[in-house]
Each structure stands twice: as structure tokens, then as C-alpha cells.
Amino acid sequence: MTDFVKPTIDYFELFPLLVVFGAACLGVVVEAFAPRAVRYGAQVLLSLGGLAAATVSVVLIARDSEVYADGAARGILAVGGTIAVDGPTLFLWGLILVLSVAGVLLFAERHLDGGVSAFSGQAAALPGSEAEREASTRGLDHTEVYPLLMFAVFGMLLFPAANDLLTMFVALEILSLPLYLLCGLARRRRLLSQEAALKYFLLGAFSSGFFLYGAALVYGYAGSMDFADINESVRNDAGNSALLLIGMGLLTVGLLFKVGAAPFQAWTPDVYQGAPTPVTAFMSAGTKVAAFGALMRLFYVAFGADRWSWQPMLWVIAILSMLLGAIVAITQSDVKRMLAYSSVAHTGFILTGVLGVQATGDLAVGEVSSLQSVLFYLATYGLVVLGAFAVVSLVRDSGGEVTSLDRWAGLGKESPVVAGVFAFFLLAMAGIPLTSGFVGKIAVFSVALAAGAWPVVVVGILASIIAAFFYIRVIKAMYFDEPVGDGPSVVYPSVLTATAIAFAVAATLMLGVLPGPLLDLAGLAGQFLR
């Protein structure tokens, strides 16, 4: 038996993870010991402080990270090679932290619903019961959502950095469990919310099972959980390749479930609709970013030598996601469900970028690498979708948010600014020039074309056209249709939500007009460290 070697911990490089985790744990302590009156303020400050500290340290790490392999990759493998703090990781960390800050701002919004947050007063009380009414009259709030959010952020940060299958699985669970819980905490329409949470949990657990089984099979093939070792085995073609392929497939299922690709998208509309809108906003942006980071690390690092075997499978998934997302979105009558299907379509677009992978040597000078295009797309999409859901939370009537598209008719007359901002986000999702979505689509399509995946690109363009139809239909409804009956009113948010939305608008416009700096930054991230 070999001696146990204590792994060295690279505290500096892991600081963002540690500080977020620490803030989450502190949040639990605050919840246990601080009086109710100060909890809200303390939790918000703690979360924002933790995220800010993590963001600063990401910048510092990025500045100091060592460069390897002629500038192709940078960073280090920490904790005995289980966590890779490399260029792409740092880019995604930065992005996730920015999205999380916006998420905290949305969580902390208490202006929209008469002084209470969007979360249930007392989650344990049965819907419609006396206890619920009492909690609501006392103006109770679940401030536990902030530690939960921070735990989810910790999982999201760990997910794309995980450099072996076990760490990846642990990260997947850390990221998912708080989200299952958050989904069930809506203040309004609680039954719908709880149903969504339960569905998400059941299906998520099911897909985790696939992932775990896949991990076991791949271990059986390679004799190691470590991505570098798996890569070595794949390269040497050692072992039973059926074992590898089935394992690879099952791992893929787990990850594709998280990003919401077809045919694993079934949970998205129900969960997006049922979850409290701030949670939907945070989750739809953050989970997608983290899961795509993990997906790319798994495929590029562990299975990179075998890309001919998985690329066709991703072709099929990408085409299915784009078409299904775009087509089904057309007949949706609920704005959150429509955005959910649109997110499925966008998953397809991002996958188009993922499968555009090619050896670095094949890239001409100035050509965008596949990783670069996906990172850019994730940044643009994350901000747009977060902003769009944030706007959805502003359109309300006495019963809470109004998500039925029929009742959004004529919103442009009620509030030209809010309708205009939403229209801008929709145009960005549709990929209209001068928005970030256009540049993102161009980037992923061009890398896919360079890799010869033109059928996927053709379908992608077709799906973009179909998608543009339903985005523009909403714009038409807001601006050109007469309001039906008592239309919803737009509640003007506090500075928290307003900041999040303004930031998303500014970034979307900026990245549409001047995409250069961020594209360069994504390019600077380089390749995954093996």
C-alpha cells in the first residue's frame, strides 16, 4: 500500500472558492444567531462582500497566473490536480461572480411586492393555511436564500474547475441542491413553485445517477478519475472502447441535463415558470455558464483525443436543441416558458460553438477558437437572460407577476422604458446587429463552419429565423397591440434591480458595438490546462 501523501493546498489560487464557501457558512451562522431584524441587511452585505472579495481575487490570480506551452494555456493544477485554475476557469469564475452579484441584487429586491422579497414568508407552512397567512401578515422573509445562493455559487465555481470526475460530480451536486430548494420558495403561486422544485429535484437526481454511472464506466475503462489520465488512456486506446463510449454517453447526459439541451430539456419550462423569478434569472444564467464550462473541460481535456467519436453526437443534440427550442417557443403563451424554450434554443447555439473544436494548430492567425467563441457567447447570453427575467419581475398586478403574454399587449404604452428594455433584450437574443447576441452568434457559427459543421450552422440559421419570429411577436404585442382589459402595471423597482438591469443593458449594448475587448479577454484565457 502506498503512503498517503498530503496534497498541498494552493490557498491563493483557491481563494475565490474558499471565500464564497466561507461567506455561505457564515451566512448560516448569521441565520442561527442574529436577530431577525438585522438578518436581511447582514446577509445581503455578507453575500455581496464575499462575491466582491472573490471577484477581486480572481482578477489578482488572473494577473499572476503562469503561462505554459507557448502561451496556449495558463494557470495551475491545484489540490493534487483535482482543481484546474486555468485561463478558462478564471474567465468563467469572473463571469459567474458577476452574474451572482446581479443575482443577489435581484434576490434582495423588496420594493416590488410591498416591502417583502419574492420568497415565501414561511416555506414550511402549507399553502393556503392559517400559518401562511400569519407569516405573510407579519412580513416574514426567508433570509436563508442568501446562504443557499452562496452555496450554489460555490458549486458553480467548482464545476468548471473540476479536473477529475469525482470532483465534478461533487460540484454538480453542490450546485444543484441549493437550487432545488430555492425553486420551491416562491411567495406567490406556491403550489406551482413547489411542484417545480420537486420535478427539478427528481429529474436532477435521475440525471445525476446517469452521470455517476458514466463516471464508474469511464473509471472502469481508464483506471482513473483524473482527466489527464483518461486522456492518456483514450490516446493509447487502452481497454474496452464500448465501456468508454457508454460511459462518455452517460456523463454527457448528466451535463446536457444541466445545460438544458434537447431531449433533456423537459424540466426547463416547468422549473423556469414555477421558480421565483429572481431564482430563475440567476439559475438560467449561472447554471448554464458553469455547466458549459464543465462540459467543455470534460470533452476537450478528458475526451479531446477522441473528438471524432463524440462530435457527431453533439451535432445531433445541437440540431435538436435549436429546432425544438425555437419551434416550441412559438406556441407558448407564458413569457417565462417562452424564455425557457428560448434558452433551450440558445443551448443549441452554444453547443454549435462547442463542436467547432479543432486543434490549435489548425487555427489561422486572428481566427476565433472554439473555446473563445463559447466563452464570449456565455458572457453575452448570461447577461441578457438575467436581464430579461429581471424585467419580467417588474410586470405585475395585484396577484403578483403577470407572465401571460396576452396581458403584455400594449405594455409599450403603459411603460415605454421597461417595454423598450425588454424589447432590447429580445432583440439581443434574436441576434440583431449592434447587440451582443449578434456577435456571439457570428462567433459560434464561424467556428462551427471552420470545423466543417455546416449542416449544424444551416440549421442554426434556420432556427435563428424561427426564433426571431417569436421574439419579435412579443415586441409587436407590447408596442402595437391594444391592451386587453385591465392590463398589468409596471412597478418601478428599487435601485437593486434597476442596477442589475441597467448593467445588463449596458453590457449587451457595449458588447454589441465593441466586442473586441471581451473577445480578446476570452482569447487571452487560452486553452484548458491539461
Partner 1 sequence: MTLDAILLASSEAASEIPVVHPVAAEGVFTWLWLIIALPLAGAAVLLLGGAVAKGALDKVGHWIGTASAAGSFVLSLILFIALLGRGEEERQIGQHLFTWFQVGGLDVGMDLLYDPLSALFLLLITGVGSLIHVYSIGYMEHDDRRRRFFGYLNLFVAAMLVLVLGANYLVVFLGWEGVGLASYLLIGFWQHKHSAAAAAKKAFVINRVGDIGLSLAIALMFTTFGTTDFAAISEQASGASQATLNALGLLLLLGACGKSAQVPLQAWLLDAMEGPTPVSALIHAATMVTAGVYLVVRSNFIYELTPVAQTVVVIVATVTLLWGAILGCAKDDIKKALAGSTMSQIGYMMLAAGLGVAGYPFAIFHLLTHGFFKANMFLGAGSVMHGMNDDVDMRHYGGLRNYMPVTFLTFAMGYLAIIGFPGFSGFFSKDKIIETALAENWIIGLCALLGAGITGFYMTRLMLMTFFGDTSRWDKDAHPHESPHVMTVPLIVLAALSVLGGVLLLGDFVVEFLAPVTGVAEHHEPPLPAIVITLMVVAVVAIGVAAAWFLVGKREIPRVAPTEVSFATRAARADLYGDAINEGVVVAPGRALVSGLTSFDRVGVDGVVEGGSLGVGAVSGALRRVQNGFVRSYALSLLGGALLVVLALLAVNLA
Handedness of CA 216, 222, 227, 231 (dihedral sign): negative
**Binding residue (CB under 8 A) for partner 1 from 129, 236, 240, 331:** 331
Residue indicated by cell numbers 458588447: 511
In the range 441-480, which residues lie near partner 1 by CB under 8 A?
466, 469
Q: Is 249 in the site for partner 1 (CB under 8 A)?
A: yes
Residue nearer to partner 1 on the CB measure, 107 or 211: 211
Q: Of the ranges 106-114, 306-314, 411-419, 516-524, which one interacts with partner 1 (CB under 8 A)? A: 306-314
In the bound complex, what is the minimum distance in angstroms from residue 12's beta carbon to partner 1? 39
Three-state secondary-structure class, residue 403: coil
Phi, psi of 86 (to 5 degrees): -115, -175
Q: Is 342 in the site for partner 1 (CB under 8 A)?
A: no
Q: Is 272 in the site for partner 1 (CB under 8 A)?
A: no
Q: Is 199 in the site for partner 1 (CB under 8 A)?
A: yes
Q: Is 264 in the site for partner 1 (CB under 8 A)?
A: yes
Three-state secondary-structure class, residue 162: strand
Angstrom CA distances, 496 to 104, 423, 500, 505, stand at 9, 21, 7, 14
- Distance of alpha carbon 106 from alpha carbon 145, whole angstroms: 12
CA–centroid distance for 182 within its chain: 15
**Binding residue (CB under 8 A) for partner 1 from 30, 270, 378, 396:** 270
Angstrom CA distances, 342 to 91, 261, 322, stand at 25, 11, 9
| Contact predicate 509/53, CB 8 Å | no
Handedness of CA 105, 106, 111, 117 (dihedral sign): negative
**DSSP structure string for 62-112:** HHH--EEGGGTEEEEEETTTTEEEEHHHHHHHHHHHHHHHHHHHHHT--TT
Inter-axis angle of helices 436-450 and 370-392, to 10 degrees? 150
Q: Is 253 in the site for partner 1 (CB under 8 A)?
A: yes
- DSSP letter at 139 equals T
Residue type, 403: T
In the bound complex, what is the minimum distance in angstroms from residue 360's beta carbon to partner 1? 24
Q: Of the ranges 330-338, 371-379, 388-396, 447-455, which one interacts with partner 1 (CB under 8 A)? A: 330-338
How many residues lie near partner 1 (CB under 8 A)? Answer: 41
Residue nearer to partner 1 on the CB measure, 480 or 492: 480
In the bound complex, what is the minimum distance in angstroms from residue 269's beta carbon to partner 1? 6
Residue nearer to partner 1 on the CB measure, 129 or 331: 331
Residue indicated by cell numbers 445588463: 504
Q: Of the ranges 24-32, 35-43, 67-75, 266-274, which one interacts with partner 1 (CB under 8 A)? A: 266-274
**Binding residue (CB under 8 A) for partner 1 from 266, 305, 468, 498:** 266
Q: Is 256 in the site for partner 1 (CB under 8 A)?
A: yes
Q: Of the ranges 65-73, 87-95, 203-211, 374-382, which one interacts with partner 1 (CB under 8 A)? A: 203-211
Three-state secondary-structure class, residue 77: strand
The grid cell for 5 is: 501523501
**Binding residue (CB under 8 A) for partner 1 from 227, 267, 349, 376:** 267
Q: Is 246 in the site for partner 1 (CB under 8 A)?
A: yes
The grid cell for 363 is: 487555427
**Binding residue (CB under 8 A) for partner 1 from 9, 60, 127, 206:** 206
**Binding residue (CB under 8 A) for partner 1 from 18, 245, 432, 468:** 245
The grid cell for 188 is: 406567490
Residue nearer to partner 1 on the CB measure, 16 or 254: 254
| Contact predicate 71/99, CB 8 Å | no
Tell me which residue of 433, 437, 477, 420 sits closest to 345, measured CA to CA: 437
Q: Of the ranges 3-11, 82-90, 179-187, 305-313, which one interacts with partner 1 (CB under 8 A)? A: 305-313
Q: Is 208 in the site for partner 1 (CB under 8 A)?
A: no
Q: Is 241 in the site for partner 1 (CB under 8 A)?
A: yes
Degrees, nearest 5: CA angle 212-215-217 = 115
Residues forming the site for partner 1 (CB under 8 A)? 198-199, 202-203, 206-207, 210, 241-242, 245-246, 248-250, 252-253, 256-257, 262-264, 266-267, 269-270, 308-310, 312-313, 316-317, 324, 327-332, 466, 469
